[in-house]
A and B are shown apart, each in its own frame.
Chain A
Amino acid sequence: MSIARSAPPINIRGIAKRFGSVPVLSDLNLDVAPGEFLTLLGPSGSGKTTLLMILAGFVRANAGSIGIGGEEVIAKPPHKRNIGMVFQNYALFPHMNVFHNIAFPLKQRRTPAAETAERVEKALDLVQLQGLADRRVDQLSGGQRQRVALARAIVFEPRIVLMDEPLSALDKGLREHMQIELRSLHRRLGMTTVYVTHDQREAITMSDRIAVMNKGRIEQLDRPETLYARPRTRFVAGFIGESNFIPVECRNDSVWYAAKRVYTASPLPSPGRHWLVVRPERVRLAANAEPDANANLLDATVRDVVYQGDSFICYATLADGQQIALRDYCRGDVLTLLPGAGQPVRLRIEPEDAILLADEI
């Protein structure tokens, strides 16, 4: 089974969709590279599933264009699009066994019986379900159903595969296992994949690129590392990972927090109010004496320390009441050296970890 040779790009232009008078997507543009694993990430109601439904052809857009490998498909019925899809609830046909479920797309394409059997066998191998062909769907576990749905979506060698939160019904351990498996399957088969999830960790684990969606728009489209290290909006910073938001002000060509100058590697923004965004694991405890002109040093009082096994979170309050969180791994004697609640600490933030974001309306 090789899909890579012909994996096409997807070019989405100006997609708009309203349900009644409620706009769900507005002028949405997105390019998915050939063979890319792209994730649409966003909270519920952000329009990510609607976009997927428009791609699959189940929902008709009000305007826009979808090009697959240069061919316009916006008005093509779903059964002619040749796109594989894995549904959130798997949508395995309950009146067919595993074999007939996976053979369904081949049957529609009038594939000869011998070839069908062979390809179903291969697909079952690929998702490690050898020997389960005769099982009824209701005799399968959640993880097995997931694999059957996956096998069914790729058995007819579609050039594009869509996945709508395919792992959300699985428990945590299995979900993480399947993430790695899906990822390696994608690497092997190389089909252009659009994946929808609201789980930021899942998106970061699996994707080549992530499109963070909010209120029917794409807020930021970037590689996971960039998205995490350089969020461009407050929404993205809040949605991907944890963040401390500290209100700062830009005046006289420098950035100020209360009466303190803030050192940042971010380009200097326009004068006015901004947010300083720092990831909790980028905040460090500084030795009290440590003088350093280039780092940001903030005095705070420890409010609580929460032990989480592999790591701990220290919640502290800055002088003006601003809350700040610090996360570090529990290695060595870190925990015993940690100040208790109510004790003063000095926090250190390196300039390159201090991200400045515009104050959103």
Chain B
Amino acid sequence: MSAAPADLPDRGGLNADVLSADARREALALLGLCSPGIVLVGIIIVLPIGWLFWLSLFDETGMLSGANYARVVEQASYVRTFITTFEVAFIVTGLCVLLGYPLAYMLSQLPRRAASICLIFVILPFWTSVLVRTYAWLVILQRKGLLNTWLMDLGVISQPLPLAHNFTGVLIGMTHILLPFLVLPLYASMKAIDADYLRAAMNLGAPPTATFWQIFFPLSLPGLAAGVVIVFILCLGFFVTPALMGGGKVIMWAMRMEQTTSLYSNWGAGSALGVVLLAVTLGLLGVFRWLLGARATSAWGAR
């Protein structure tokens, strides 16, 4: 890109006007090429969010007020929803890390062919609708579902386990649906770790466990951070699975928004909830960057 201001032609130099006209033309052409993208981003992101923000500033009577935001902070039920949402997000993210890290590690160490076959099993659920998968979990986990029937028939338990229509059900369903979002970036970053680093560590006297914790794990952190951020953010806004698996007992932020808008038709309050979620999410992303950024960039910088 020669349109950078640093290399503007010298004023008064040989052919300076021709060269600066050329630079202007190039800058315009680039702007032209970018314009469809800019327009699209404006229409589908900037405009709706601006509108959302605008709506949130008006109360039910159509008066400009901060009532919508005041309610979010003051009403106990909103605060409870807020806490539940973060509780679910933290636990689901934790479960995804516990299940996903070993899975991604295994995938990254498998021979290429076996790894691509196993990867299909990770990606396959992606092609099925979230709704279908959630109902499938209901079939398996509910009171008279597959799992409880089998366990009772086998005599392992006498009372059905409460696995669906509660907090546990929400966790199981969400972890299943969000796991690939953690595994895929993690797998990619693990694949990018040069085997020579591990060889070098062993050669220098590090036993396998030390090699893993001192070399492999720190080098996989950028991928883990990416996966954790994606899963956590998706958790915060999740609707379908908690709504179905929670049986009305687990109210998450997105469900509260749905109630407010479709049940009470209070668009201002719903918008305020959206704005708060957006702000908190952005704030968390900032904290993530700040916490993991330094390590992540130092690990990626050498590539």
Chain A interface (Cβ < 8 Å from any Cβ of B)? 56-58, 77-79, 81-85, 87-89, 91-95, 104-105, 108-109, 136-138, 152-153, 156
Contact = CB atoms under 8 A, between A and B. Distances in A.
A68 to B, nearest CB: 14
B215 interface: yes
Nearest to A88: B196
Contacts, number: 78
B54 interface: no
Given A89-B194, A89-B196, A95-B218, A137 B302 contact: yes
Interface string B135-161: 000000000000000000000000000
Interface stretch (B96-104, B107-115, B293-301): B293-301
B204 A152 contact: yes
B219 interface: yes
Given A94-B303, A136-B298, A138-B301, A79 B202 contact: yes
B204 A104 contact: yes
Contacts of A95: 218-219, 295, 298-299
Given A104-B206, A138-B302, 9 more contacts: A56-B203, A79-B207, A83-B203, A87-B196, A91-B194, A95-B219, A108-B206, A108-B207, A156-B205
A94 B202 contact: no
Contacts of B205: 79, 82, 105, 108-109, 156
Interface of B: 194, 196-197, 199-208, 210-211, 214-215, 218-219, 295, 298-299, 301-303
A93 B203 CA distance: 13
**Interface of chain B, helix or strand or loop or mixed?**
helix
B302 A56 contact: no
B203 A78 contact: yes
Contacts of B199: 56, 58, 78, 85, 87, 91
A87 B219 CA distance: 19
A104 B211 CA distance: 11
26 contacts: A57-B202, A57-B203, A58-B199, A77-B202, A78-B203, A79-B208, A84-B204, A85-B200, A88-B196, A91-B197, A91-B199, A91-B200, A93-B197, A93-B200, A93-B215, A94-B302, A94-B303, A95-B218, A95-B219, A105-B205, A108-B204, A108-B205, A108-B207, A136-B301, A138-B302, A152-B204
A79 B203 contact: yes
A57 B203 CA distance: 8
A66 B205 CA distance: 19
**Highest count of chain A CB atoms <10 Å: which of B202, B203, B211, B301:** B203
B109 to A, nearest CB: 15
Nearest to A140: B302
A85 B203 contact: yes
A175 B203 CA distance: 25
Nearest to B204: A105
Contacts of A88: 196
B298 A156 contact: no
A56 B210 CA distance: 18
A109 B206 CA distance: 9
Contacts of B206: 79, 104, 108
Contacts of A82: 205
A109 B205 CA distance: 7
Contacts of A136: 298, 301-302
Contacts of A138: 301-302
A153 B200 CA distance: 9
Nearest to A78: B202
A156 B203 CA distance: 11
What 6 A-B pairs are tightest by C-beta distance, nearest first? Answer: A94-B302, A105-B204, A91-B200, A108-B205, A91-B196, A78-B202
In this complex, the member of A85, A88, A137 whose beta carbon has the largest number of chain B beta carbons within 10 angstroms is A85
A220 B114 CA distance: 42
B203 A94 contact: no
Contacts of A93: 197, 200-201, 215
